[in-house]
Each structure stands twice: as structure tokens, then as C-alpha cells.
Structure 1
Amino acid sequence: MARLLPLLVIALGIFFWYRSRRNAAVRPGAAASSAPGLSGEAAALGFLPQDRQDTRRLTRDPQIDGAQEAAERGAWEPAARALAAVGPDWERRTALVIALARVAAEDDAWLSAWETACPGDPGAAAVRARSSVFLAWELRGGSSAKETTAEQFEGFHRVLLRAREDIAKAVELDAEDPSPHVSDLWAGLGLGYPHAYVDELWTEITTRAPFHFEAHYAALQYWCAKWHGSAELARDFADRAASAAPAGTLLPALRLIAHFEHLDRPLNSKHYGIPEVTAMTDAVLADLPAVRPDHPRLAEVRHLLAFFLVQQKRHAEALEQFRAVDGYVGALPWDYFGDPAKLYCDYRERAVQGAR
């Protein structure tokens, strides 16, 4: 028995050491969580589990969501009132057009009723133009070109050509609104507009709204190597736009997007810690205080910042961004991958643990 006593003491010591280590993993007062994508620490900070992350939206916006939900129920009047209310606030008008057009691409009966009740309504025309572009891309599907059938391509190009007619009508009905021209940029990705035409189109847009974020995002996609440009053209476009923009436009984020878009392995952290990328990240952080709180793309930029900051091991700063956007993950970069809610929660957990 005397021989067993030292072994018993050692065993008890190991047991209590293990239990203390396990308990240390949970913050004082926080219960361990069994919800997917949610540790005890994350739960204590008020974060939501993976199954409560909305993968369709990038934020909650009462004005936009109310009009969209009414359209989903078949009512067009709230959409018309919402567009009339934003007036020449082109950033929010374009966001409303996009939200409503997504609904119309699935079922346009409510939009047809609006067009019948109010012939020549410029808001309805802008929504119709963008919905035609969305419909074309849905017909094509999200697969690579080699995995897309000839029938899909035929429908894609046929509807895009029809969309150009809808875009022209929307421009005619409201010459000041840049949103139909932004829709034309997205049509140009599929139809392969030549660079010279896009340059002319860009002049039309920037004459109306020189610092329009959605327009810049669409143009950046056109100039990316995966579409009709190159890494150099995309980065040059992003740098020129960010350099010329006043504070509060979110345009410094274009540099981050151009960097992300041209990485072969975008989840590899080695691409994010170099001084140039750290400086890009800092420039976006510096722009945030001047951004209007209801900017429709602010949440997406916060998502992007959170991702870059985690990659740079700046976990406390990343947590600030995660706190501002939790619950809505239909945004870059998460929606570029197969399970955006899981990836979001994985990166959020890295920030939680790294900031401890």
C-alpha cells in the first residue's frame, strides 16, 4: 500500500491539473456552449451560433428589408414608396433596386402589376433592368465556363441582350439615376463589353455619382483577371479610386477586394501579413468613422475587415468588426465559399481565442 501512495498522489495531481486546464478554457461566469460554431467564450460575448447566421443578407436594414418582404408577399406599393423616399440618395436607391430585383428575378408578378398600374415609373423600370440581369446570371448558373452547358450559355446571352433593352428604357425614364448604368456594368461582365465601352459607361456613372460604392465594386469585378482585365488593371483601378475618394465613401476597401480576388489560396494567412496589405487594412479602418451608419455596404466592408484582421492576427480589432455584423453573413468573403456561416464562425472563434 505504501508503494501505491506516491502513484495515487501523482494520478490525483494529473486529474486536478487537467480539470483546471479544461475550466480555464471557459471564461469566468460563462457556460460552455454545445451549439455549432459557438464556444463558451463566444456565447459570453453575445455572439450567435452558426445556425442563426443569415446567409442571404449582409445586414438588417428596415427600409430595404421592409420593401423586399412586401414584394415577396406580392405587394408593389411599399417598393414604390421606398424608392420615392430615398430620392437622389443614389447609394441607397441602388441598394433598394438590387434587393427588389432579386425578388423579381424569382417571381415578377408584383413588378408586372406595378408596371401596369404606373406606366413609365422610373423606379419600376430600374428594378426591371436589374432583375433581367439577375435572371440571366441565374440561367447561366455559378459553375465555371467548362462546366456550363451550351443551353445555359444561350439563355444567359439571350436574356442579357434583353436586359440591355430594359436598361436603356430605365435610363430614358430617369437620366440622373446611375443604377441602370450599374446594371449595365454587370451585363457587361457576361457580354464581354470592350474596354473602350466600359470607359464610356464609367464616365456616365461617375458624372452622376463619382464615389458610388456599388458602381466601383461592379467595375472592379470587370477589371479583374477572371473577367475582362488583369490583376494589374484591377489593382490600379482600386488604387486610383481609393486615392481620389473623400473620407466616408468606403472606397479604400476596393484595395482589399482587389488583393483578395487575385489570390490562388485566399485562406492562406501568408498573403495578408505583408506591410502593404496591413497598410491597406489600416486605411479602411481609418475611413470607417466618417461612413454614414446607414450606408448599405458598410456591413460588407466590416466583414472583409474582420477577415483581414484575423489573418493579420489583430484579433481584438477583428472582434470589434464581428460584434457589428454578427447574425448576417451573406457578404464577401464568406459567400465565396461553400459554407459561409461555418467559415464566418471559424474566423470569429479565432478572433475570440486570439483576443483572450
Structure 2
Amino acid sequence: MTVDVARIVVIGLGIAFAIGCYRRIMGPSSSGRPGSSRKAERLGLLPESRQNTRRSAPEPELERATASAARGRWEEAARLMAVTREQRDWARRSHYADAFGSHRSAVRGGLLDVWEAAAGPDDPDLAGVRARATVSLAWHFRGGAWAKDTSREQFAGFHATLARAPQENARAVELNPDDPTPYVAEIWTALGLGYTHEDMRRLWKEITVRDPHHYGAHYAALQFWCRKWHGSEELAMSFAREAAASAPPGSLLTAMPLIAWYEHRDSDAKAAHFRTPDVVGLVDAALVDVAAARPDHPDTADVRHLLAYFLTRQGRYDAALEQFLLVDGYVDALPWRYWTDPAAVYCGWRDRAVRGARRG
């Protein structure tokens, strides 16, 4: 997992910058129509002020663990990571590694040093979180401003830290060879280090040997193949459609073509573009997939958020409202996370669905 450190660009804390290429400044917000607000309230939907912008769904165990981490206690995070390793639940393991690795206690609070002092340097769970935290720390040094507004010192810290990430990922692989999680982290490193297409294909082979239908890995790889990073619309869509075609029901990978379409078409799309037979077909396939997903799949809510948006854009308000009712209260998901005020944007589209739906 080594690469010539040639092109260091950027990667973001919580991957918000990496997947969004800078957040959009404005977006649709709540209409303020009293009727819409009253109807939303009757349906049990929460106001903008009560939307959680740090999660896409409620996760009590993870929230307790991150709260303990904020107090300098590593034990609960270690327990959750160990359970995923023992159960070989790679999707959830990657999800937890992202959450713990991007938490401020790991990035800047010294939590990982305390964890290592207690568990030793050969703890595979610590290594997985440290690998992810290295990337997050690099972004912390760089900040979220445009390059012209970023100081030489910020870039220096960013470059020096991100250059360590491949070694941290390799160490995590050494300690737990069957785990795809370090390789998934390496994809986010690849965005910043400017891996070649051949580098990426070798990395992808390592992942698919271990978990061929890993949602988080596919999501990360799709970002690499997007035009805004190291690919093109054609490469991204080809990757996404191949993933969807080869995946079993319930894997959620039918969302990949929708994400690829959103990444390349949404900003210039008119209403009619969302209602073409192709896009409607993509939404319908993802609806079937999400209905077949296991109840505890860590990425189900993310797909429901995306579906809620597309269904609203297609004027399928009752179906959209069904998705909004299942995810309301948590808005750290695509497409809302691409905006500087995700709660406002989420509530704006949600309230359109509320107004248009027959229910309520």
C-alpha cells in the first residue's frame, strides 16, 4: 500500500469536503408556509432546529461511545470495534472506524495515545481507527477554505500528515489482514495523494477480495472515479452501473448510479431531467434494494435520504414522505451534507414532500 507521494490535494474531516468539493453556500430552505409546518408537526416531523447534523440515523451505542471518547475514555470505542472484528461485520467496522477516527477526541484530543498505552501498539482495532484519524487530522490542519485563503503553514501540516496515511493503513492491514477497512480508508487517502487509475484498480482488487459488496468502499471508490476528482462522468457511471448490476438485493449498491447521476447532473438539472425513464428506473431499483436490506445495515438511512430527495424532485410526494418519516431528525447524509446549512436544506425539500403528499 505504498505510492509515490506526488499530488496532494485534499481530504476532509468526516469526508464532507472530499465528497463535496467544497460545500454549497446556499440551498432550498423551508418555505415558511404555516400550513406546511402544521402538517409536518401533525405527522411527527421535527423542526429545523431539532435536526441532528452529525448523524444520518440514530445510533445509541455509537453515540454513547463517542460521548465517552470526548471524556477521554477509549474502552467503549474499543469494545464496539472488537465486536465488528469478531463478527466480521466489515460494513459496520468501516462505519465505526470513520466515526471514531473523525471524532475530535481522536483527531486532536489524545484519545488514541491513551488507548495505545492501555492496549499496546499491536491492537488491530486501534490501528484501524488511527489510520482513519490520520486522514482526518490532515484535514484539520488544512481547514476548509479555498486554496487561495489557506496559509503555507496550513498546507505544510496537511501535506506532512496525509503523507503518513499509507503507512498507517498498511499497519492496520498487517494486524488484521482480512479486514477491508484500512483499504477503504486508503481510498480517501488516494483522493488527496492523487493515486493513478492503475493504483486505484490494485487497491480495489484488495477490497473486493475481502468484501465484494461493501457499500462504504463502493461509495468512496465512486468519488475517486468522479470528474471532480480523478475520473469522469463516464468512468463514474460505468463503475456505478457495474456495481449495481452485480450486487445481491439488500446490498444497497443500486444507489451507486443515483449518486453518480447526482454528482454530475444535479447542479444543472431541470425538473424534467429527474423524471426521465432512466432516472425513474434508478430510483425504483434503489427502493426495492433498500426494502430488502437487513434492518441493521449501517448505510440504509443514507440511501433513504437520497431517495427522499429524488422522489420529491420527481413529484412522487407520498413515496418521498414515506422515506422522510423514516429518517427525520438526522441529516448528515447526501445530498444535505453538501450544503453549509444541511438542516435547512433538508427541511426545505421535506416540506415540499409534505405539501404535495395526500397523507396528513
Superposition TM-score, scaled by structure 1 size: 0.87
What is the deviation of 1:338?
A: 2.0
Mapping of residues 83-232 of structure 1, within 5 Å: 83-86=81-84, 87=86, 88-103=88-103, 104-119=105-120, 120-232=122-234
Name the residue aligned to 2:25.
none
What is the deviation of 1:164?
A: 1.6
Q: Does 1:346 align with 2:342?
A: no
> Does the residue aligned with 2:127 lie in a helix, a strand or coil?
helix
Give unmatched runs, 5+ long, in structure 1. 1-33
Name the residue aligned to 2:45.
47
Q: Which amino acid aligns with 1:275?
A: P
Name the residue aligned to 1:299.
301
Identical-residue share of aligned pairs (%)? 52
| 8 Å CA contact 2:257, 2:282 repeated in 1 | yes
Aligned equivalents of 1:121, 1:37: Cα separation in 2: 55
What is the deviation of 1:168?
A: 1.2
- Superposed CA RMSD in Å reads 1.9
Mapping of residues 178-327 of structure 1, within 5 Å: 178-263=180-265, 265=267, 268-327=270-329
Aligned equivalents of 1:38, 1:154: Cα separation in 2: 49
What is the deviation of 1:265?
A: 1.8
| 8 Å CA contact 2:224, 2:231 repeated in 1 | yes
| 8 Å CA contact 1:37, 1:342 repeated in 2 | no
Name the residue aligned to 2:29.
none
Aligned equivalents of 2:112, 2:36: Cα separation in 1: 41
Structure 1 pair 56–225 and aligned structure 2 pair: CA distance change class (3 A): same
| 8 Å CA contact 1:91, 1:213 repeated in 2 | yes
Q: Deviations over 1:124-169 (max 9, x none)?
A: 0000000001111232333444554444333222111112221111
| 8 Å CA contact 1:105, 1:132 repeated in 2 | no
Aligned equivalents of 2:68, 2:131: Cα separation in 1: 20
What is the deviation of 1:108?
A: 3.8
Q: Deviations over 1:281-321 (max 9, x none)?
A: 00000112210111111111100000000000000000000
Structure 1 pair 143–257 and aligned structure 2 pair: CA distance change class (3 A): farther
Name the residue aligned to 2:61.
63
Give unmatched runs, 5+ long, in structure 2. 1-31
Superposition TM-score, scaled by structure 2 size: 0.86
Q: Which amino acid aligns with 1:226?
A: K
Aligned equivalents of 2:280, 2:147: Cα separation in 1: 34
Q: Deviations over 1:36-73 (max 9, x none)?
A: 99611110111000100011111111222222221112
Aligned equivalents of 1:256, 1:179: Cα separation in 2: 24
Aligned equivalents of 1:107, 1:36: Cα separation in 2: 44
| 8 Å CA contact 1:38, 1:49 repeated in 2 | no
Aligned equivalents of 1:59, 1:299: Cα separation in 2: 6
Q: Which has the larger radius of gyration?
A: 1
What is the deviation of 1:351?
A: 0.5
Structure 1 pair 307–83 and aligned structure 2 pair: CA distance change class (3 A): same
Name the residue aligned to 1:25.
none
> Does the residue aligned with 2:157 lie in a helix, a strand or coil?
helix
What is the deviation of 1:273?
A: 1.2
